[in-house]
Amino acid sequence: MQTITLGESGLECSRLAYGCWRVTGVINHAPIDEEHEKKSHKAITTAYEAGYTLFDLADIYSDGLVEEVFGRTLKEVSGMRENILIATKCGIRQKGNPSKESPHRYDLSREHILNSCEASLRRMEIDCIDLYQLHRPDYLMDPREIASAFEELKQAGKVREFGVSNFTVDQLNHLQAACPMKLHCNQVEISLIHRNALEDGSLDYYQSHDVTPLAWSPLAQGKLGSEYPVSMRNPKHTQEQAVRDALNLVAKEKDCSRTAVALAWLLRHPAVIVPIIGSTNPEHIRDATAALDLLLPREEWYRLMAAAGEPLP
Ligand SMILES: NC(=O)c1ccc[n+]([C@@H]2O[C@H](COP(=O)([O-])OP(=O)(O)OC[C@H]3O[C@@H](n4cnc5c(N)ncnc54)[C@H](OP(=O)(O)O)[C@@H]3O)[C@@H](O)[C@H]2O)c1
C-alpha cells in the first residue's frame, strides 16, 4: 500500500489506517467467546495482510477489551508488531469509573494520562505506543500538566509520538504552545456527510503546519457504504440519498464500489487526509484499498461535494 509520514514525526505508515473500534462488536468489557475472538483476530489480520500498517485503538473501546484482543492478535502473527504503528487514545472516562457515582467525563490530568498509558501497554502487552492521542479535549485541561505527562512518557520510552483527537485548531495550538514535542496528528470526523473540517479552516491549518488529519468514520458510520435503504427517520435522509446516488454514478463509471469512491473523495484533498477504515468485514477491509487507485478529477470531486451540500455560491 502507498505510504505517508505522520506529520513531521518520521513515522511512516500506510495511506489508509485501520480502526479497531468495532472489532469486538461489544460495548462493554463483556467476555467474548472463542468464535467471537477469532472473528476479531480475522478482521485485524486481514487489514495487516492487505497492507494497513497504522492501527487505531482507544482505551475505552469495549472498555479495554479491544486493546486486549489486539495484543493477543499481535502475539499470533509473527513480525506484525515490528511492521506496524500502534495508535491508541486516552482521556474519556466512562460513567461508573472508578466508583458507581462517577459521571461520564473527560480527564486529561497528568495522573490519568500516565495511568492510562500504563494500562494500555499492559493490556496490549507491548513496551511502547507509537502514537498516543488525547481522545477528546477536556474542559479542565491544563496544557502544562499534559506536557509534563507527555515528557515523562517519552523519556521513559513508553510513547514515541503524540497526537490529539477532536481538538479544534485553537485547542491544538493552546496545547502545542506548552509541549516541547510536536503534536503530529488530529483525529477528526470527516466524510462527505460531515464536511466541517473543510469549511472551518482546520484542514488548511493542518496542511500549513504539517499535522496529519486522520478521518474517523469516513463512511459516516457506514451510511455511505451500506446496502440498506436510507432511513427515512434520519432528518438528513434526502441529502444522504443524493450523496449515495452521486457516488453510485461515479462508481459505475469507474467500475468500483461506492465505498471506494467515498474514500477517494477524502484522499483527493491536499491536506493528505488518512481515512480510518472501520469495517470488520474482510471483504470490505480489502475493498477499501481500491480507493487508492482512484484519482478523482476536480469535476467529479465537486459533483460529489455539490450532491452532499448546499449549492456553491
Ligand atoms: N477519535 C474519535 O473520536 C473516533 C470516533 C469514532 C471512530 N473513530 C475511529 O475511526 C474508525 C472508523 O470509524 P467507523 O467505524 O465509524 O468508520 P466508517 O467507515 O464510517 O463505518 C464503518 C461501518 O460501516 C459499515 N459498512 C457498511 N458498508 C460498508 C462497506 N461497503 N465498506 C466498509 N464499511 C461498511 C461497517 O460494517 P461492516 O463491518 O459490516 O463492513 C461498519 O459498521 C474507528 O474504528 C476508530 O478507530 C475515532
Give the length of the chain: 313
Q: Does ligand 1 have an atom closer than 6 angstroms to the CB of 137? A: no
Distances (CA, A) of 66 to 4, 41, 141, 266, 302: 26, 10, 26, 27, 38
Q: Indicate the DSSP class of residue 15.
A: S
Residue-level pLDDT at 141: 96
Q: Does ligand 1 have an atom closer than 6 angstroms to the CB of 216? A: yes
Q: Does ligand 1 have an atom closer than 6 angstroms to the CB of 259? A: yes
Residue-level pLDDT at 26: 73
Residue-level pLDDT at 236: 78
Pocket test for ligand 1, best of 13, 52, 221, 223 (most atoms within 8 A of CB): 221
Q: Indicate the DSSP class of residue 220.
A: T
Pocket test for ligand 1, best of 21, 36, 192, 193 (most atoms within 8 A of CB): 21
Ranges of the chain whose pLDDT falls below 70: none
Structural domains of the chain, ranges and CATH numbers in brackets: 3-189 (3.20.20.100)
What is the Cα–Cα distance from 21 to 53, expressed in whole angstroms?
16
Q: Does ligand 1 have an atom closer than 6 angstroms to the CB of 21? A: yes
Residue-level pLDDT at 19: 98
**Each residue of 191-213: pLDDT tens digit?**
999 999 999 999 999 999 999 99
What is the Cα–Cα distance from 214 to 56, expressed in whole angstroms?
10
What is the Cα–Cα distance from 53 to 160, expressed in whole angstroms?
16
CA–CA–CA angle 117, 121, 123 (5° rounding): 115
Q: Is 61 tagged catalytic? A: yes
Residue-level pLDDT at 119: 98
Residue-level pLDDT at 296: 95
Q: Does ligand 1 have an atom closer than 6 angstroms to the CB of 91? A: no
Enter the C-alpha cell of residue 134. 488525547
Pocket test for ligand 1, best of 20, 22, 243 (most atoms within 8 A of CB): 22
What does pTM read for this prediction?
Answer: 0.97
Preceding peptide of 229 cis, ω within 30°: no
Task: Name beta bridge partners: 164.
Answer: 134, 186
**Each residue of 145-175: pLDDT tens digit?**
999 999 999 999 999 999 999 999 999 999 9
Distance (Å) from CA 219 to ligand 1 centroid: 7
Residue-level pLDDT at 209: 97
Selected catalytic residue, list 61, 106, 132, 205: 61
Distance (Å) from CA 214 to ligand 1 centroid: 13
Distance (Å) from CA 62 to ligand 1 centroid: 15
